[in-house]
Structure 1
Amino acid sequence: MRSWAERGSGFAYACLAGTAALLCLPIGNPDIFWHLSAARWMAEHRAFPRTDWLSSTMAGRPWCDFEWLTELLWHAVHKAGGLPALWALKVLLLAGAAALLWRLLREAGAPFFDRCLGLLLWALAAAFANDLRPENFSLILFLALFLKLEGRRLAPPSGFSPREAAAAVAVFALWANLHAGFVFGLMLLGIFAAGDLLRRRGPALAFLLLLAAAAALLNPYGGEVYAVPARHAAELPELSRFIREWQETSLLQHWLWPFWAVLALSFAAALWRQLRRRDLPLEHLAVLAAFALPGVRHVRTAVYFVSVALPIAAACLRDSGRSPEREPRLPTFLRAALGLAAGAFLCWNFLAPYKRFRPFSPMHVPVHAARFLADEASALGGLRLLNPWHWGGYLGYALPAGMPVFVDGRYIFHPLLRPLWEANQTPEAMAEFLDRNAIDVAVTPRTPQFVVTGELKRPFYLFFFPKERWALVHFDDKALVFARRSALPAAWLADREYRLFRPDDLTAAYRMVREGKASAADAARDVRRFSLRFDGDPELSGLAVAARQWLRSVSEDAPR
């Protein structure tokens, strides 16, 4: 007789389908573009970048590109097939990680249904890592290392062969040139090495740990691959205030609930095994504790904890004294409940991108603002540009030479995070920041922030970029572009400035025209310019239609 988990194959395959749907989500990481910029530079110069060349703020400053090998691979794939090919690479890499997790769950004794459910929980709990990132390679190598170490733990004690030593050197040398996540591999190897020493199984893993740590130095930047992560770790308290991926894994964010479910499940399973059988492996307890702490403190590192927690939970819940055909009622109920909850959570949070699927989601990049800046490069080139942290990678890749960004997602810009945040707190702070940094062109997100003046709510930018000094020369659904009046010819500004038809301020513009304080002709000129730019655009043509409808209502009510 087959177990309940095996009989519920339809439910199990639904879990696999949900996992596949999650792994096939579009790319959304805006940082891929500064990686592609670095790869493009390497391809053009036949050298490794050692100083910054993309920004105006850090130009010439030292930069350790410890992800250079990943970037060159991305560059080759992108050159061959564009963003769809990069999406396919992302799916392939995450599928490889899922296959390794499947094997870990199988080796831990999880039945078929539990393996399917485990993959779905993993994909949900590690949702932040479900993107195209250099960490994709770290995740595969981390899972492969855990699989190898688990197999060694269960085998009789032995030394290591020259082949194993060579493999350790090769893997960690490769890993250190792909992504700095190799330090988590060293951490995992160190835990199992300590376990061997405490249980008197020999120093083989300790020697392999030393070899692996030395092998990581086989890269173009030498010891910098250790220095940069160390500096990064020291900066984490500050980074967690300003960068979402380095913030804590909060229970208040509903999309992180699966992580907390896995955390609770894994520690409960470990406690159950210790209380029931008193044979919880020391390595499992140490791995859970060591990776839970960074997973709870920072969203970015949660994937490493989830990847080890699920196999450990499966191993802890395996009851060697019970026949699989006679599973207890409670675990069966819990499995079904977990599966239903995971499916509902998937539908609630992750189905929206499939309504209009594309390999890359431009939600987090200023596509139209970048196009405007590139079109106006002859006038704007050489002027000092201000941009948000998360848009710098895309702008640096999309804009022509001579238009350096202010910041992007690289670690060298961490010192600018606080000044940028402080500048956005008050109009006075922003004015001082813009003048101190000699900013002539500012690209800023179009956010729904308002100031109440009289009976109206006016948009924030009227106060942070006052029209006496700044001209609004472009806007779209995501971005606003302002130009300093003193930095550009008056004729150029006159042809591009939006004086009345401005985002989130149309009620005020309507009143100004109706009361005779502004001309309907000025509004018509603004709408005509906006329509010429966005008519025919598949995403923003609707805004152009709405603009003309607004203009008709303004013209009808304008004084004669």
Structure 2
Amino acid sequence: MKKDLLRNFSGALLVVFLFIFFYCPLETEDIWWHLNAGRWIVQHHAVPHVDIFPFAERADPWILTQWLGSVIFYLTQDIAGYQGLQLLRACVFLLALGMFFMYARRKMPLAWLFLLIFIMAFGLGTRCLLRPFIFNFIFIQLFLIILFRHQTYGKWTELLWLPLAVLVWGNLHAGSFIYGLSLPALFLLSEVIRYYVSSAARGEVLSKIKNLLLVCGLSAGALFINPYGMTGALFPAKAVFVPGFIDFYGMGHMTAEMRPPIEILSFRGAWFFLLLIPAVGVLGMPRNKSLTHVMLFLTALFSFLYASRAADFFVIVAAYIIVEGLQKLSLAERWRVWPENKKVDRLIYGVMTFLLVINIVHTVQQKVVLSNQAVRKIFLQEDADNPAAAARFLNANGITGRVFNSYEYGGYIGWTSYPRLRPFVDGRQANQCDAKVYLKILADPAQFWPAAEAQYRFDIVLFNANEAFHYRYMDYLITRSDWQLVFVKGPVVVFVKRGKFVLVEKVAKFEERLKTAQVDLETISLPDLSRENIFVAALKDFFDPLPEYVDQRETGAVLYAFGYKAAGIRTFWESIQDWDGRTARYVLSLMVKDYRGER
């Protein structure tokens, strides 16, 4: 009875944790252009064939193979607002993990399964973005479940669900091409190798090969059933294998998900090793000799180590391999008859309860500070560092025109302000020439900005000044006398072409006020950081974490970097007085030392 109570309580806590863990603010990325595209599709009852939000008057060809995902997101937002989108994402993640639970619940001890799902959550959490790829979590599992069943029982009828799934998946995300074809092909290759290497049951193996060949062909054919026909079906293949097609790899160095996952070497990457070690362990057991499992695991592992964006694929494959391996070892049956299983189960449930409680408390306590007001992240609808305030500022002051922008801001600008504001680039990369110009400007602004400025006639620059890849351009632009800084909030900065707009006095004299700002260093007291117990501080920060983001502090850092050092120090110091922190104090001490050195 006590075990059942503890099990049920632990399970309920796990569901609560998963929900609040994946119920996140909307990030400043592709979701916004997906909303814009979804709105256009719903309003026009058609999919776009040309760029529907062009920077210039020309409309370049554009194919949106993820059109169904965009429509789902827009309809959700139209019915339930941004909170509806947050709820949709949380539900998709819960559904994915619930699907895994239903598959694995009879194949391994329940206590172990709870712990495995808890670990999986942190791996999937690295991909907690609201983009159509989140539906991959469902389809990848559907494919694995059916393919594993076919490998075990050889029934070809269940395989017919896979081409039907591709019909939907192919209009949601390119994962249908990457995983929807590669997974059946990988199982097919495994059976072919088995046919030639082993002489046992060759007739059965040959039958499986024929079944898998059929499903591979039908799945490939299903990709052609989309609004774009052959063009849409071949689009993902060209994007992946033809380097110059949409310059898929062009922004790889700037995009975290396209780079190797170096974060696995930190504490945040513990989930990776907690999945890697047991997966390798079950693969190495004598009773679990499965070429398919080895090929699956190596494919998923290589994909993830090559690019962080494959984290979800690795998490799902590793978890399924662990479950399949434990089933072959008959662990669930052995566990049930082991005399000490109840004691160990209670211990695992107890540890799980403890871990879940402290993580729930930590997650609920996470906060940001906006305009000197603390807001818990769980109540935040949009990421704290998005350009919403800048867009409102531009619209309120009647500043319109062509915007040279950080590419991650393009979608948000388009969703909230197009066509009053026309972003140069966004996550769609609809115009490859413009995208290449953007990269050239960031790499060498002195060489490429003057020509681009003359060609594209930019009126506004809206950038994330705290992004490392933007430093060179920001340092260059602040020296240009023909561009005027008019807005800074957090990392978001706005420049306008000097003399282009009639500005109200407060905006027109923004730079002047920054230049004449004064700071009295004697009023800034920097405590002795060496006396603070770092372990006690870390424990306190876990249960009552300091704000992850303070907009005033980010503003101060930007102003200081732009050369308005007195204004930057004063703004930064004011934020510390209300929201202290060890790292912030250290940064301020460096600012003060540098400022005193100049004087």
Report the TM-score range of the alignment, normalised by the length of the smaller protein: 0.7 to 0.9
Using the alignment, how far apart are the partners of 1:253 and 1:54 within structure 2? 41
Q: What is the identity, as a one-letter code, of the residue corresponding to 2:157?
A: F
Q: What is the identity, as a one-letter code, of the residue corresponding to 2:235?
A: V
- Indicate which of 299, 320, 334 corresponds to 2:330: 320
Please identify, of 129-138 and 10-19, the stretch whose mean Cα deviation from structure 2 is larger.
10-19
Using the alignment, how far apart are the partners of 2:65 and 2:378 within structure 1? 32
The within-5 A match list for 1:37-186 is 37-56=36-55, 59-107=58-106, 109-155=107-153, 157-160=154-157, 165=160, 167-183=161-177, 184-186=179-181
Using the alignment, how far apart are the partners of 1:231 and 1:352 within structure 2? 45
C-alpha contact 1:55 1:407 (8 A) present in aligned 2: no
Change in Cα spacing, 1:466 to 1:38, as seen in structure 2 (3 Å) is same
**Structure 1 position 102, deviation (Å):** 0.8
**Structure 1 position 220, deviation (Å):** 0.9
The within-5 A match list for 1:274-289 is 276-277=286-287, 279-289=288-298
C-alpha contact 2:445 2:472 (8 A) present in aligned 1: no
Using the alignment, how far apart are the partners of 1:371 and 1:438 within structure 2? 22
Matched, 1:373 2:406: no
**Structure 1 position 343, deviation (Å):** 5.7
**Structure 1 position 213, deviation (Å):** 0.9
- Indicate which of 186, 193, 198 corresponds to 2:188: 193
**Structure 1 position 473, deviation (Å):** 1.9
C-alpha contact 2:53 2:418 (8 A) present in aligned 1: no
Using the alignment, how far apart are the partners of 2:35 and 2:384 within structure 1? 18
Q: Match for residue 460 of structure 2?
A: 441
**Structure 1 position 194, deviation (Å):** 3.3
Q: Match for residue 541 of structure 2?
A: none
C-alpha contact 1:441 1:483 (8 A) present in aligned 2: yes
Q: Match for residue 509 of structure 1?
A: 517
Q: Give secondary structure in 2 for the equivalent of 1:255.
A: helix
Change in Cα spacing, 1:298 to 1:540, as seen in structure 2 (3 Å) is closer
Q: What is the identity, as a one-letter code, of the residue corresponding to 2:462?
A: V
Using the alignment, how far apart are the partners of 1:136 and 1:72 within structure 2? 15
Q: Give secondary structure in 2 for the equivalent of 1:510.
A: coil
**Structure 1 position 254, deviation (Å):** 4.4
Q: Match for residue 362 of structure 1?
A: 383
Normalising by structure 2, report the TM-score.
0.72
Q: Give secondary structure in 2 for the equivalent of 1:442.
A: strand
Using the alignment, how far apart are the partners of 1:338 and 1:414 within structure 2? 52
- Indicate which of 245, 257, 282 corresponds to 1:269: 282
Q: Match for residue 209 of structure 1?
A: 216
Q: Match for residue 557 of structure 1?
A: none
Using the alignment, how far apart are the partners of 1:486 and 1:264 within structure 2? 62
Q: Match for residue 453 of structure 1?
A: none
**Structure 1 position 430, deviation (Å):** 6.6
Change in Cα spacing, 1:511 to 1:323, as seen in structure 2 (3 Å) is closer
Which deviations, in whole Å up to 9, do the C-alpha atoms of 1:234-272 show, x marking residues without a partner?
A: 45554321111211122345433423432333123211x
Using the alignment, how far apart are the partners of 1:470 and 1:208 within structure 2? 59
- Number of aligned residue pairs: give it: 496
Q: Match for residue 410 of structure 2?
A: 392
Q: What is the identity, as a one-letter code, of the residue corresponding to 1:125?
A: G
Matched, 1:224 2:242: no
**Structure 1 position 340, deviation (Å):** 9.4
Q: Match for residue 537 of structure 2?
A: none
Using the alignment, how far apart are the partners of 2:117 and 2:497 within structure 1? 53
C-alpha contact 2:51 2:62 (8 A) present in aligned 1: yes
The within-5 A match list for 1:535-550 is none
C-alpha contact 2:22 2:93 (8 A) present in aligned 1: yes
Using the alignment, how far apart are the partners of 2:417 and 2:42 within structure 1? 18
Change in Cα spacing, 1:345 to 1:442, as seen in structure 2 (3 Å) is farther
Using the alignment, how far apart are the partners of 1:58 and 1:232 within structure 2? 26
**Structure 1 position 309, deviation (Å):** 0.9
Q: What is the identity, as a one-letter code, of the residue corresponding to 2:330?
A: S
Using the alignment, how far apart are the partners of 2:507 and 2:261 within structure 1? 48
Using the alignment, how far apart are the partners of 1:210 and 1:421 within structure 2? 40
Q: Give secondary structure in 2 for the equivalent of 1:386.
A: strand
Change in Cα spacing, 1:430 to 1:442, as seen in structure 2 (3 Å) is farther
Matched, 1:310 2:319: yes
**Structure 1 position 341, deviation (Å):** 11
Please identify, of 207-216 and 339-348, the stretch whose mean Cα deviation from structure 2 is larger.
339-348
Change in Cα spacing, 1:299 to 1:364, as seen in structure 2 (3 Å) is farther
Q: What is the identity, as a one-letter code, of the residue corresponding to 2:188?
A: A
Q: Match for residue 528 of structure 1?
A: none
Using the alignment, how far apart are the partners of 2:354 and 2:299 within structure 1? 28
Change in Cα spacing, 1:540 to 1:191, as seen in structure 2 (3 Å) is closer
Normalising by structure 1, report the TM-score.
0.77
Which deviations, in whole Å up to 9, do the C-alpha atoms of 1:303-359 show, x marking residues without a partner?
A: 012112112113323433872143899x96997999699769957985554634225
Q: Give secondary structure in 2 for the equivalent of 1:21.
A: helix
Matched, 1:244 2:256: yes
Identity of aligned residues (%): 20
